[in-house]
Homo-oligomer: A and B are copies of this chain.
């Protein structure tokens, strides 16, 4: 019976530049036994997110590195298979942070139980999970968009970016995406309702952004840094706000590239502010209330890019850092009982 062993992916080497499959290793161990107060849970979905690249490095970032030989970290949706904790029943579906493995034992802290009748359970890792909350906090709290303003977001077809643009529209703003293919741009404007989308790979970025933002840029939600950020800075309006959410373009860099010239910040009294969603846990309830409703009402759409099997996770993460996913990237680690 194959479930008799636990499958886990550990960090085997620290990448220099882009991660390679050999930086990961699939190891099999015994399925752990839950102790007093603990639960055993079976992973259904593993979330893959750009921040994971930083965890593969040694040294200080905003969270601890994964040590060599340790299981890679990550958000998960799981089914409780055995519970010694009165707060959880066998069969409960939960969202937690079990990492790249098929089974995990947990105390249950940091776990939220999901109601599959409310939304597909996989959304707890996407539009109704950390990426959605990142969009919500970063755009609304840091970006402070006002009706009629122009909001630009990079990685616009991704889990965070797709929510940012739709939230901007809901707040009465012009939403402009930047994405890496014609197909992604078509999805962003056609399906998600952004007002415009710039394909940074085939268009003159400055000219295309200028055409897409005839009134300049008031909020730029940055997921990528690099050339897009530099092009945006040339078009910002007075009092522009730039929530700095990610710098994907340089996560695989072996030395830190120079950044954009900051003179436009001075001239325009503009602000760049880095933020980390985990600092804003006090907004969780507002986020879930608002975004669950918008998802139900069809005002906040999402797309999932699901790869099959834990063993696919390394290549999928490598692809994510190259922009090869299309929508929220998930790994189906085990059977989803709600889709039986």
Give me the interface of A with B, judged by CB distance under 8 Å. 60-62, 225, 229, 238, 244-247, 250, 256-263, 265-276, 279
Contact = CB atoms under 8 A, between A and B. Distances in A.
Contact of A272 (B256, B258, B265, B279): B265
B274 A267 contact: yes
B265 A273 contact: yes
Contacts of A263: 225, 247, 250, 256
A263 B248 CA distance: 10
A269 B250 CA distance: 18
Given A260-B258, A261-B250, A273 B267 contact: no
Nearest to A236: B274
B271 A274 contact: yes
> Considering residues A61, A247, A259, which has the most beta carbons from chain B within 10 angstroms of its beta carbon?
A259
A261 B266 contact: no
Given A271-B272, A271-B273, A247 B266 contact: yes
B61 A267 contact: yes
A252 B250 CA distance: 30
24 contacts: A60-B267, A62-B267, A225-B262, A225-B263, A244-B265, A245-B266, A247-B263, A247-B266, A250-B263, A256-B261, A256-B263, A258-B260, A259-B262, A260-B262, A262-B274, A265-B274, A266-B276, A268-B274, A269-B274, A270-B273, A271-B272, A271-B274, A272-B272, A273-B273
